[in-house]
Each structure stands twice: as C-alpha cells, then as structure tokens.
Structure 1
Amino acid sequence: MTTTHPTLTAEEEALLPSEADLRHYAEHGWYLSKKLLTDAEVDELVAATDRYYAGERDRHLPVRPPRLAYWDPSRGDVQRHNDYVHYEHDVIGRILRKPLIGAVAARLARADEIRVFQSTLIWKPPISGEPSNIVPWHFDKHYWASSSSEDMLTAFIPFHDCGEEMGTITMVDGSHRWQEVGADDTVVRHFADRDRDQLEVMLAENAAHNGAEIRKIPMVIPKGHMSFHHCRIYHGSGANVSGRPRRAISLHLQDGGNAWREYPLSDGTLAAYNHDVLVRRTPQGRPDYADPDFCPVIWRRGAAQGG
C-alpha cells in the first residue's frame, strides 16, 4: 500500500493509523481511532437516525432476507438492531461512506480496497436488567462463513462519548490470533440464536487451548472517534447503566479481495448470508459481494468512492 492518499486532506492524513498503530492492531486485534467524524457529522447521524426510527426511508429492501435484524416499535424497549441502514437511508449511507473511514480500514487490513459489507444501527436502552442488552462473546467471522476473506473488520461508531457505564463494546485482547477449537456448525448461527452459557464455555475452552489469558478491554470511545476490530476477535458488551440510550452503528467492512465462497455444512446445505438473496449474481451465478448497491466501495487506492 502507498502511504499517501491524494483524496484526503492533509488534516485527514494526520488521522490515519501510524505504523505503531498497525503493529498494535496486528497483535491485539483492535484499534481506537482518532476523531474521524466531526461533531456536525455525528449530530447529522443522530438526526437522520431519529428520522429513520420515525419511519423515514429513501428506499426499501426488495426482499426480506431470512436473518434480517429489523427492529420496529412493536418490539418494545429492547436493544434495537436494524441492518442495511446504509442502503435504506441516503444521509446515513453518505456519512458511513466517508473516505477517511475506508482509508483507516484499508491501512489496518493492509488492503487496496474497502467496501461496505453490512451496517447495523443499534440502540441499547438504559435498562440494566434488559436481557437483550447483553451481547455474549462471539466473533464476526463465524457469521460470515460464506465470505472468503480472513481480513474483514468492523468499525463501531457511537454517536456520543461511550464508556463502560453505557455497555460499550469490549474486546478479548489478542483473541483473533487464537487457534480455534471445538467449533461445529452451530457457530455459524448468530449469537442471538445461541445459548449464552455455551458461548462463555467456548471462549474459556479456546483460551485454555491457546494458553491465553482472557483479557477483556472495554473500548472507551469519545464522540467522533470509533473502534475497529478484526473479524476473528472475540467481543461482546454489557448492560447500559448510564441513564441514557447507547446509540451507535456497527459498520462491517470487507477488503477488495472478499468474495462469496462455497462453505458446506454438515447437513449438506451451504452457509449463507443475508446478502445472498439481495445482491446481483456474478457471471458464474454466485452472489456478488461487490454489488455496488449493497456493498459500495468507500476506499480504493488512488481513488476514494465516497459520494
């Protein structure tokens, strides 16, 4: 990769991760960014997501994927998850496609191109005893078995200062480097469909197998900053006891080399992702994870795609 990105301003160049940051990410599996969104951009996100929750859409998904996370008011005051917000709402999508975010991800993944993979709008209510607020330990690659890349990553983007009292995202330090044991077909199911105790046991077993300490690092993230994490790092989050909602977007990102792959399961079916019923097909008839409608490029070496 080149170290200069002509589409960024000099001020933005200074916000990219340093070589020391890249070494930290490779060793620990997570990175806390500098201020990548201005206060005005974050405030615009807040206003746009308020309108989204009120029903505003610029377009709707053409079909409803089988594992779509899509909160609506009938579900009550639980933790809200809404997928594909970058597709359904133009203002949200424009801010999430900010080239600087893609440039940071490209450096961390050592990639020439970064595309959106998924975006999930999250609202964690300030209810300490709400079961849906607890996100058990998991890593994202389990749910992306139909993706060929091992370098995918996620930007967690809170809309405010976000610390432990809000139930911030928390990483199991360095766990992306563990050799996985005890995995079977159940790992491709989303954590919401699995037993939390089983996930705790899986974390402990994998730590023991690797002779590793389970070191949990809460991400303390100021407004406008974000955390990035590797697709194989264990992470989760706890209760929100702050007295106000924790609002954020998880922006899942794929490097340019990622593509759909055949991943057989023990019952003879193939692992699938929600994209598979939405995106266009390649000439070979496979789901195209480079479909610009659902997986737009936000950074390419020499040319950013941020419009």
Structure 2
Amino acid sequence: MPDTTDPFGLSEEESALLPTAEEVLEYAERGWYLSRRLFSDQELDALQAATERYYAGERDRELPARPPHLAAWTPADGPVQRHNDYVHYEHAEIGRILRKPLLGAVAARLAQAEEIRVFQATLIYKPPVADELSNVVPWHFDKHYWQTSTSQRMLTAFLPFHHCTEEMGTITMVDGSHRWEELPGGDDSTRHFAARDRAELDKLLRENAEFNGAEVRTVPVEIPRGHVSFHHCRTYHGSGPNRSAQPRRAVSLHLQDGSNRYRSFLKPDGSPVVYNHDPVVRRTADGQPDYADPEFCPVLWRSGR
C-alpha cells in the first residue's frame, strides 16, 4: 500500500513502473518516452465517460475569465478535430483521474525535478474522417507557446483512452529535435500552429534540421491502452489523419517542474505574449501571474525526500 502520510507516495507496484536510469538517459537523448502501463481499464473507462458528459455540457465550475486563445470546441463547431482546454479545472472527475501521482512521478524522473505541477490539460477528439483537414497537426514544439514560462524542462504527457495506432493518427516525434539549436530570425514562433500555414511549419522544421546538421527522423508512437507518451517541451511533434473507423480520444496533459515561474516575453513586434493562464490565475506578491496557483496548476507529484 502507498505511504498514507505522503499524498504523493507510491506503492511498490507503482514504483516498478517508473523509468529506469537507462530510460531517463534515452529520454534525454531522444526527447520522448513511452511509459509502462500507468492507467487501468477502469480508470480509462471512467475518463472517457466523464469526457462524454463534458462534451454534453456538464461542468462543475466555470473559468473566472475567458483566456485570449482558449480552445473550446462546442457541437456548433461541427465534426472537426475537437480541442478543449482546462478540462482538469472545469470537470471534477476528469481532474481527479488526471491528477494521478504516478503520472507525475514518471514526469519528475524524466525531467529530473523534485515537483511536477499541471500546466494545462487539453481534451482532444480526432474524428474518423480521413480527409478532415483539422485532423492533421503540423510540426511544432510546445515551448514556442510557453515563452512566458522560465523552465526549459517542461514536458507533455499524451494519454489516449484506447490503443492508439498510426492509422488513428497517433502522435509522431522528431527524434532528438529537442537538442537542436533554433534557427535565428524574426519569425513570431509564439503563434499557435492552428494559426499558421502547414507548409510554412514543414519548411521551418527542415530549415532547423539543416541548421543543426541533423536528419529529420520521424517516429510514430504506437501507444498501448493505459500507456502514456511523454515528450520534452522542445521536441518537434505532430500527427496525421485518422484513417481508422474509430475516433481518436486523448488528453494532452502539459506539465511543469516546480521551479517554473512566469516571465515577461515580447513578440518580434514588441507586444507582450499573453498565455491563457495570465488573466485567470492568482497573482504573486509582485503582481505577476502565479503558475503555481493550485486551482489551475495543481501539484501532481512532489518528492517526499
């Protein structure tokens, strides 16, 4: 049984599921990691049922303000790929399942951090429509959109509700791309991939690879049910169309290490970057957005040692 004096304590069985020292080194080399089985069928069934109720309009609380770039699919948007941010905040059951300490402990070991907090949780539904353009996610890396965060160790856990295959449009990594030096220039990389031309992002990936003398090695990650794919915040990734007969359902759980803080960051035109958290989280003593606000950025795991 877990240590009941420590809310983040793991059982012996759970501890055996953590990455080995060799796997942590491989993550540092490749920029991504496929876990052992972290979630049971019962947990995933409950998570999918809760998300269906969420899609039907069930909420336990509402955001206090509407963030500037909120992903918030509604039925009126039609049969496109669905993205919904803040599901961990708005729906209690979804949040409860996602706040599994074991998930945080895996992330902490990969990031070599003493604490892991939620940064954002996005519910994703990729409909089984092979030619649906919104299903294709172009090459990008997450840190581009997190420039107001100080950390370079942030990472994302991609959790499908089912066995996730290349046919379904699983997440695909560009091996080792988190170690690339970024091509210098005036491009506004803070613009979300949904607001950019796919060909432009393909070209940017090729140019960055050439700048680093690197090969673009793409790896579609087949994820067995209950397993989780983790990737570094600077790892290029994307996903293809869903050619299967079933929807691809997943949560993209963005995670931050305990040292992450807000910082001011300017776009090339001199205007400030505003992350979605900035108008909704509490303020620090110096008046800055607090990315440790437990309501929006709860702790998943903290070292007891």
Place the TM-score, normalised by the shorter chain, in its bin. Answer: over 0.9
| CA deviations over 1:14-62 (Å, ceiling 9, x no partner) | 0000001101100000000000001100110011001111111100111
Q: What is the match of residue 108 of structure 1?
A: 110
Q: Which amino acid is the alignment partner of residue 111 of structure 1?
A: A
In structure 1, list runs of 5 or more residues that go unmatched.
Answer: none
**2:98 alignment counterpart:** 96
CA contact (8 A) 2:118 2:300 kept: yes
Distance 1:100 1:42, change over 3 A: same
Deviations 1:256-285 (A, max 9, x none): 000000112232222120000000000000
TM-score (norm 2): 0.96
In structure 1, the partner of 2:36 is: 34
Distance 1:50 1:286 in 2: 36
Identity %: 66
Q: Which runs of 4 or more aligned residues in structure 1 lie more than 4 Å from their structure 2 counterparts after TM superposition? A: none
Aligned-partner Cα distance in 2 for 1:149–1:284: 19
* Contact 1:123-1:245 at 8 Å conserved across structures: yes
Q: Which residue, out of 30, 45, 48, partners 1:46?
A: 48
CA distance in 2 between partners of 1:40 and 1:102 (Å): 19
1:30–1:230: 8 Å Cα contact kept in structure 2? Answer: yes
Trace 1:1-307 onto structure 2 (pairs within 5 A). 7-302=9-304
Counterpart residue type for residue 286 of structure 1: Q
What is the DSSP-based 3-state SS (H/G/I as helix, E as strand, rest coil) of the residue aligned with 1:52? helix
Corresponding letter in the other structure for 1:14: A
Deviates more, 1:230-239 or 1:258-267: 258-267
Unpaired segments ≥5 residues, structure 2:
1-5
How does the TM-score come out when normalised to structure 1? 0.96
The AA in structure 2 aligned to 1:189 is: R
Q: Secondary structure of the residue that 1:188 maps to in structure 2?
A: coil
Q: Residues of 1 paired with 2:61 and 2:185: CA distance?
A: 38
> Matches of 1:197 and 1:268 in 2, distance apart?
26
Count residues with an aligned counterpart: 299
Corresponding residue SS for 1:276: coil
3-state DSSP of counterpart to 1:120: strand
Give RMSD over aligned pairs.
1.1
Q: Does the CA contact (< 8 Å) of 2:188 and 2:268 recur in 1?
A: no
